[in-house]
């Protein structure tokens, strides 16, 4: 997530429906090993203080609000390893464990509020949020979408997660199937790098279904005849499953890698090889923005890398996140704008056009604070794919934040159909957006047509 300046998370009363962390610190598929438990017991018997990494101390994490009078202060906060999740004027908010909180206190900035996550008790994924797709239901839904148009669709795995779950892509191409190479201009849309951002899975999945169901409409049919389109709804399946595994949300952001200090997880959207390990990331494995031991250390980010590198026809891309209602374009890792003036103009025009349809705000990703190693900086910088990070709604934590409930699914899908069609259309030559006016037409996606 990368928040807008209008974003405010008011914890407790305003975080509705906010979701509770499970009190246990176990994680899926046997991540906590028996030897670690034995050594901890032995250490306690000797009276030795046992260090538990922040990522395993779910009961000790807090929502923090602190003063940040300017962009420089926000950058210092981000560089401390703290994941800024909300910005409101001169205040920022986010989640911190004990070690991260100690570093924040050392910055000399006034901490305004600390709210234990365990006190935030929202509704559960099942049944209140059962409209969202867990891993099993996602697999079934992807197969269901593919079955609607076997002449157009194919499914394949781009790689596997830490715990061995496939990362599935749905391909729409009228002539090539599976991993076959194509000369058609390509576009790709990805969801859920960050585990707790479940709405991003729903939007990628829902837009894919809308396009398949409307494949015979003249404008959509033309695009599908001429383009090579991919939807990857769930980049971080392990983290997403862990977030919902106990029936109470765990506020998980990272994947489920075992770190050297015993903590869990790497921030996949800080693990790409573009200014890796720089500003806006953390060297501390327990932090939410921990970048990992090296660029592309994680099987999930490597899978995305290899997928993109193997397809030189890819020209446009969206990585969906939540929340804040933003359309962001590179750079995120540096404050300077893109040096190619024509590319920059195309980016700005595309972002403004998509913002006009969605009601989101368009801006350069680093406008609030820099963050290095993210996917869209890498895909633009390394591969020259015109890449956007879209922070879906809601615009603020007061409207639900990471866990806004099922009522937002349909409206968020509806808002994003037209931007997806727009980027599919532009995949033949994204630079032509530099010459477009913001009133330029794009394939229409009337609200009435969105059945799901």
The strand ranges marked E within 97-215 are 111-116, 153-160, 166-172, 186-191
- Catalytic residue list contains 123: no
The strand ranges marked E within 132-276 are 153-160, 166-172, 186-191, 228-232
Alpha helices, H only, 276-393:
299-309, 341-358, 375-383
Q: Rounded to an integer, what distance in angstroms lies between the CA atom of residue 313 and that of residue 273?
A: 21
CB environment 2-37: b (16+ within 10 A), e (fewer): bbbeebbbbbeeebbbbbbbbeebebeeebeeeeee
Q: Rounded to an integer, what distance in angstroms lies between the CA atom of residue 176 and that of residue 256?
A: 34
Q: Rounded to an integer, what distance in angstroms lies between the CA atom of residue 145 and that of residue 431?
A: 32
**Cis ω before 394 (30° cut-off from 0):** yes
State phi, psi for 156 to the nearest 5 degrees.
Answer: -160, 160
Q: DSSP label at 269?
A: G
Beta bridge partners of 191: 320
What order of strands is seen across the sheet that includes strand 91-96?
83-88, 91-96, 62-67, 111-116
Q: Which helix (H) or strand (E) holds 362?
A: strand 361-364
Residue 28: left (phi > 0), alpha (psi -120 to 50), or beta?
Answer: beta
Q: DSSP label at 264?
A: B
Q: Rounded to an integer, what distance in angstroms lies between the CA atom of residue 349 and that of residue 346?
A: 5
The tally of CA atoms less than 13 A away on the side-chain side of residue 312 is: 1
Catalytic residue from among 85, 298, 391, 412: 391
Close Cβ partners of 252 (under 8 Å, ≥ 6 residues apart): 195, 196, 239, 240, 242, 243, 265
Asked whether 262 and 31 are in contact (CB, 8 A), the reply is no
Q: Rounded to an integer, what distance in angstroms lies between the CA atom of residue 348 and that of residue 111?
A: 36
Beta bridge partners of 282: 290
Q: Which helix (H) or strand (E) holds 240?
A: helix 237-244
Asked whether 193 and 317 are in contact (CB, 8 A), the reply is no
Q: Which residues are catalytic?
A: 391
């Amino acid at each position: 997530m990368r928040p807008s300046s209008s974003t405010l998370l008011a914890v407790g009363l305003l975080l509705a429906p906010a979701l509770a962390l499970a009190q246990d610190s176990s994680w899926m598929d046997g991540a906590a090993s028996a030897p670690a438990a034995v050594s901890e017991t032995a250490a306690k018997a000797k009276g030795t203080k046992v260090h538990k990494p922040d990522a395993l101390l779910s009961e000790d994490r807090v929502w923090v609000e602190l003063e940040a009078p300017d962009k420089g202060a926000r950058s210092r906060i981000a560089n401390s390893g703290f994941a800024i999740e909300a910005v409101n004027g001169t205040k920022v908010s986010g989640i911190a464990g004990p070690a991260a909180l100690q570093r924040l206190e050392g910055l000399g900035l006034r901490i305004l509020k600390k709210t234990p996550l365990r006190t935030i008790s929202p509704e559960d994924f099942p049944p209140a949020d059962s409209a969202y797709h867990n891993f099993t239901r996602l697999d079934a839904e992807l197969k269901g979408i593919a079955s609607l148009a076997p002449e157009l669709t194919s499914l394949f795995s781009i790689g596997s997660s830490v715990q061995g779950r496939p990362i599935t892509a749905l391909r729409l191409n009228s002539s090539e199937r599976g991993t076959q190479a194509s000369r058609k201009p390509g576009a790709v849309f990805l969801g859920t790098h960050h585990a707790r951002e479940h709405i991003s899975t729903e939007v990628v999945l829902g837009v894919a279904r809308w396009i398949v169901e409307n494949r015979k409409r003249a404008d959509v049919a033309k695009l599908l005849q001429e383009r090579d389109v991919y939807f990857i709804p769930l980049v971080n399946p392990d983290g997403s499953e862990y977030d919902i595994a106990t029936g109470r949300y765990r506020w998980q952001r990272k994947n489920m890698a075992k770190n050297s200090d015993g903590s869990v997880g790497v921030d996949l959207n800080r693990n790409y090889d573009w200014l890796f390990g720089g500003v806006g990331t953390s060297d501390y494995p327990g932090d939410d923005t921990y970048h990992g031991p090296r660029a592309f250390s994680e099987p999930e980010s490597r899978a995305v890398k290899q997928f993109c590198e193997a397809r030189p026809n890819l020209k446009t891309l969206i990585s969906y996140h939540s929340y804040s209602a933003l359309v962001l374009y590179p750079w995120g890792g540096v404050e300077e704008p893109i040096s190619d003036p024509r590319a920059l103009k195309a980016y700005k025009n595309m972002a403004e056009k998509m913002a006009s349809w969605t009601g989101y705000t368009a801006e350069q990703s680093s406008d609030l604070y820099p963050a290095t190693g993210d996917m869209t900086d890498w895909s633009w910088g390394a591969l020259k794919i015109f890449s956007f990070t879209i922070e879906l709604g809601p615009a603020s934590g007061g409207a639900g934040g990471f866990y806004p409930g099922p009522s937002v699914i349909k409206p968020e899908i509806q808002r994003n159909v037209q931007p997806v069609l727009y980027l599919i259309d532009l995949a033949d030559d994204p630079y032509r957006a530099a010459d477009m006016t913001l009133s330029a037409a794009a394939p229409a996606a009337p609200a009435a047509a969105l059945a799901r």
